[in-house]
Structure 1
């Protein structure tokens, strides 16, 4: 039979109110009484009913997290940062994978809100009107994690993706490259796609390098799309001397495509990207990339959410964390 708070109170010889105070860490309990209640809980194997406690306090101490791709190492690192801070503030997380599909993202958001989570962290692509409509169906705080909304209204934590791409392409330009291709994400994605594409274009424009439409291919962030885009670049009458990929995974696909075609990286073609995932230091040559502080993005997002859930004052609801260029061995000067 299920052990109840009444059973614990009887076993410990105290009132149910005293057991409740002990379970909820109320300081107004004598140490000797607290010890007696804990011993009774251990003997009986009592577990507090989280649902009942949530109904009483109108808090569930749970946070919903929508993650685009649970298999992606970057998002896994963000989730680790979220969980570490959640544990610190005694919150549990419900992690939901959305497969980078808008219909599934909306469904998952609604499901988490129906579960009466105390707050929601959303990692995804474009924040559309449908997303905002789903967010507005609940009055719990919401923080965008590693993404932002177009109007900048919803609290968010991210890097400046345009500047990250700008710095990556400028590294290629500094090495002497002028024929620079890009493997972009979807331009409907405000961060990995649209913003990084504009950073690429701005770097070319600032250096006086003409923009060439045939030097840009849209990928889907996956390894295979890096291969496909690079095969296309190699089929052009004038192949690029350098490739900027919007993500490490596409960059690694690009490096393998170049090597499979008998070309050397970086002697024949340089490759650079944004992310600094673990794979960047596992590929050969080691990948030069712009590092996103993925763990910190998760940790800061969760800390911001805890402040909002506790109705604490927040100085900055839109947080931009710094990025860093990590120079390795996949970039060199073009052949004369």
Structure 2
């Protein structure tokens, strides 16, 4: 049978109110009484009913997290940052994978809100009007994590993706490259797709380099699309002397394809990207990339959400974190 708070109170020889105070870390309990209650809890194997506590306090100490792809190491790092800060502030996490599909994202958002979470962290791609409509039905705070929406109506934590891409392409330009291809994400994605493409374009424009439509291929962020885009680039005449990839995973696909064609990175084709996943330093040659502080994006997002949930003063709810160029071995001078 389920052990109840009444059973603990009887075992410890105290009132149910005293047990409740101990379980909820109320300081107004004598140390000796607290010890007696904890001993009774341990003997009986009592577990407080989180649902009942939530009904009483109108808080579940639970945060919902919508993640695009848990198998992608970049999001796993964000999730780790979220989890560490959540633990620090005594929140539990419900993590939901949404596969970057709008219908599933909307469904997951509504499901989490129905579960009476105290707050919601959304990691995704495009924030559409349907997303905004779902967010607007929420009575709890929502923070966009590693993404944002055009109107800046919701708090967000991210990097400046356009400047990150601009900095990456300028590394290539500084090494003498003028035939620079780009493996882009979908241009409907405001961050990893459109913003990074805009950064690529601006870097070329400011350097006086013509923008060629056939030097841009749209991928889906994954390794295989890096392979397909690079096969196409290598068929061109002239082929790019350098490739900027919107993600490390596509860049690794590019490196392997260049090598499979009997060419060398960076001697024949240089490669640079954005993200700095763990694989970037494992591939050979090691990948030069612009590092996103993924752990920090998760940690800062969760901390911002705790402030909103506790109605603390917020100085800035549109947080832009710094990025950094990590020079390795995949870019050479021409």
* TM-score, reference length from structure 2: 0.99
- The Cα shift of 1:265 comes to 0.4
- The Cα shift of 1:36 comes to 0.7
Partner of 1:277: 277
Residues 1:71 and 2:71 aligned together: yes
Residues 1:133 and 2:127 aligned together: no
Q: Which runs of 4+ in 1 moved over 4 A?
A: none
Count of residue correspondences: 334
Partner of 2:148: 148
Q: Deviations over 1:98-152 (max 9, x none)?
A: 1111111111101100100000000000111000111111110000000011111
Q: Hey, what's the Cα distance between the residues in 2 that align with 1:76 and 1:116?
A: 24
Q: Hey, what's the Cα distance between the residues in 2 that align with 1:67 and 1:201?
A: 29
Q: Hey, what's the Cα distance between the residues in 2 that align with 1:152 and 1:175?
A: 37
Q: Deviations over 1:221-269 (max 9, x none)?
A: 0000000001111111210000000000000000111111111000000
- The Cα shift of 1:48 comes to 0.4
Q: Hey, what's the Cα distance between the residues in 2 that align with 1:163 and 1:240?
A: 22
Q: Hey, what's the Cα distance between the residues in 1 that align with 2:138 and 2:281?
A: 42
3-state SS of 1:63 partner: strand
Partner of 2:38: 38
- The Cα shift of 1:186 comes to 0.1
* TM-score, reference length from structure 1: 0.99
Q: Hey, what's the Cα distance between the residues in 2 that align with 1:175 and 1:199?
A: 18
Partner of 1:296: 296
Partner of 2:22: 22
Q: Deviations over 1:26-51 (max 9, x none)?
A: 00011111111111111111110000
Structure 2 stretches lacking a partner, 5+ long: none
Partner of 2:47: 47
Q: Hey, what's the Cα distance between the residues in 2 that align with 1:154 and 1:194?
A: 20
Q: Hey, what's the Cα distance between the residues in 2 that align with 1:150 and 1:229?
A: 29
Partner of 1:250: 250
RMSD of Structure 2 on Structure 1 (CA): 0.5
Q: Deviations over 1:176-233 (max 9, x none)?
A: 0000000000001011000000000000000000100000000000000000001111
- The Cα shift of 1:153 comes to 1.4
Structure 1 stretches lacking a partner, 5+ long: none
3-state SS of 1:239 partner: coil
What is the correspondence of 1:38-117 to structure 2 with a 5 Å cutoff?
38-117=38-117
Partner of 1:326: 326
